[in-house]
Amino acid sequence: MFRATCGPRTIGQTCEPSGRERTVNQQEQRGQAGGPTIEQLLALHSIGGSEGPQWSPNGDTLAFVSSLAGAPELWSIDVESGRLRRLSVGLGGVGHLVTFMPRWSPTGEYIAVVSARSGSDELWLWPADGGPLRQLTRLSARIEAYSWAPDGGSIVFSGNRNGRFDLWRVTVPDGTTTQLTNDPCYEVYPSVAPDGRVVYVRLNERWTDHDVILMGPDGSEPHVILQDTDFFDYHYGRSFGSPLISPDGASFLFRSQRSGWINIWEAPLSGGGPARSIANATADQSDAAWSPDGRAIAYIENHNGTLELRVVPANGGPSRRLVVPEPFGVCSAPAWSPDGTKIAYLYTTPTCPADIWLVDVATGARRQLTDSMLGGQFAQRLVVPEKVRYQSFDGLSIAAYLYRPQNRSAGERFPGIVWVHGGPTSQYYDTPQPAVQFFVSQGYVVLLPNIRGSSGYGRAFEELNDRDWGHGDLLDVVAGVEFLKTLPDVDVDNFGITGTSYGGIMTMAATVWAPPGVFKAAIACSGYGNFENMHAEEELRHVKLLQHEFGDLPAAVDIYRRCSPIHSVANAHIPCFVLHGEGRYPGSNSGREFALALERNYKPVWYKTYPNETYYVASPANVHRQWLDMLAFFDMHLKGIAHALPDGVRPLTHLSGVLGSGARVGSAGGSGGTTPPRDVAN
């Protein structure tokens, strides 16, 4: 095990410069006085859910899925009184990558919702008369998206019953199901037009091109009405989304990256006519919604992680900023009231989970309907980040969020952590970061950079790390450390790096490729260090991502290997903690493989898995344990504070010579619900 020079210690002790041990006081053990507790941070959940509220046809209530009662259920809120009412009992969960998608029927008789309570994802109906949930489909297949027919008599949905996504129609309420399409390519995200015809999206084999297709209600006469190219869709259609048909059925909206930014465009439903940007901007746009009369379009626009709610006339003209977060905030999922006078939307900030709000379209007056924040003055215990920019090695400007401990004393300095986001085609937004708040409360300065390859800054920025993972993007991370060194409250000698998924990849890359002396500790959460193996073992969307970013195997094998940290573990020079979940699909052997490679090369490494998880740790109990484990590792290497070795962690040191058949190293074990040690080898 990697140890400080003063030798083994227990929690509550640290080293003086002379090597003498001293007792850590209560504030040092517990973090800053007045900061949030780990239990409070884990209790921060959105009452309004994450998918957005849905208006009832009469405009009196909004429906949404929330875990307010401890498990996901359908709820409604009265828009005048704010009264909450639980609608469903035993809704259950949904499968991997599937969402609930609650939608009122046009007649107001039902709310349709996706649930896996029968063992697979199916459409269910909640009857407005208060009856129990009723199963509608029985295909035992994943449902990706759906659309009600205007008369409420059927639903068109995309499902993978035959091993690919096709379109189906199910009649309401008897559940008779008919297949409408049958193409080798994915056919997803349907919308039903006012006249009953169906518009949907067909992806090409590489998930980069989208054909928008119009067909009859029975699937007859399908024909392409628009082609959009070179827009990689990691979630097999979700980035492009459903074509949004205008109330008069004359045109539809879609997302495209053809301008170099993801903007919203309009095209005629008849096909053949030119498409136009509804509000051309050097910013990404999303979440478009037609007003009921078709005269206006609401949408979200992203400016450096701040997401504004805007409205633009449907016939052209400048857009209007209806909700401008000040100074931070994220608007999402706008939904027009049936009379077109109000818009319901979700709103969150770095210090508050998402809540449901209403805004008057004419006056801009806003009203909060739900309140997810803990009581008292808890919000004041959370750190409000600063938005900063710094220059990378080649002059590229990198935007970042900077979190600094509150109540800093004059001359006090804190170790720094660079926390890299997942993706890489993703970004940090003005949203809560509970894990970051925990580490800031424990006396760390944390930087969250949107490094090259991040979304939200235009296509050119997004493509800067293509075929270069772990190199140019890692240098952006290193430049973040240099930025932190310029701050008066940062300990310039002690920096760590962490992140999950792609952030875990960057952490593994830093372990082997960062210049010596930049980092003193690295925690790779659910990362991938060998992209050839990742291509072989991971689910299809990850394979498509690798093909898009690196190229096809075997032709691009040199790129895969150049970007894979595992091939350079002999150069590792940073103590590394590798951790991930296990026990549920989807899983991965990548973390175990990387930890073992480090150990075989006599590198200092901790390794731990968390049970009953996918590869990513998500359950509150395991997240609680994970944060404490990470704190123990960072405290040891960045502050010289030795904690007791966390349950289930075994340091791997000089065991390579005995790692043969049956050897057991570094796996989860001990108390607290962890599993016994087991083989690390493949």
> For residue 185, which amino acid is it?
C
- Provide the 10 A C-beta neighbour count for residue 260: 12
* Predicted pLDDT at 158: 98
Query: How far is the C-alpha of 536 from the C-alpha of 539, rounded, in Å?
Result: 9
- Quick check: 249 and 198 in contact, CB under 8 A? no
Count the alpha carbons within 13 Å of 311 in the hemisphere toward its beta carbon.
21
Domains of the chain with CATH codes: 13-43+377-529+564-658 (3.40.50.1820), 54-279 (2.120.10.30), 280-373 (2.40.128.660)
Residue with tokens 């979440």: 287
| 412, two tokens | 């006090």
Largest CA distance in the chain: 83
Query: How far is the C-alpha of 181 from the C-alpha of 184, rounded, in Å?
Result: 10
The full length of the chain comes to 682
Q: Which long-range contacts (CB under 8 A, 24 or more apart) does 165-171 make?
A: 165/236, 165/237, 167/198, 167/200, 167/219, 168/137, 168/139, 169/217, 170/123, 170/136, 170/137
Q: Which residues of the chain have pLDDT under 70?
A: 1-33, 650-682
- Provide the 10 A C-beta neighbour count for residue 365: 10
* Predicted pLDDT at 33: 59
- Quick check: 652 and 667 in contact, CB under 8 A? no
- The pTM for the full model equals 0.90
Query: How far is the C-alpha of 311 from the C-alpha of 615, rounded, in Å?
Result: 40
* DSSP state, residue 637: I
Strands 490-500 and 414-420: parallel
Cis (ω within 30 of 0) for the bond into 327? Answer: yes
Query: How far is the C-alpha of 235 from the C-alpha of 542, rounded, in Å?
Result: 10
| 506, two tokens | 């960057």
Q: Which of 610, 600, 605 is nearest to 681 (CA)?
A: 600
Strands 154-159 and 143-148: antiparallel
DSSP string, 113-155: EEE-TTSS-EEEEEETTS---EE-----S-EEEEEE-TTSSEE
* Predicted pLDDT at 376: 87
* Predicted pLDDT at 299: 99
> For residue 313, which amino acid is it?
P
| 381, two tokens | 């215990």
* Predicted pLDDT at 4: 28
User: What does the pLDDT look like over 280-327, one tens digit per residue?
Assistant: 999 999 999 999 999 999 999 999 999 999 999 999 999 999 999 989
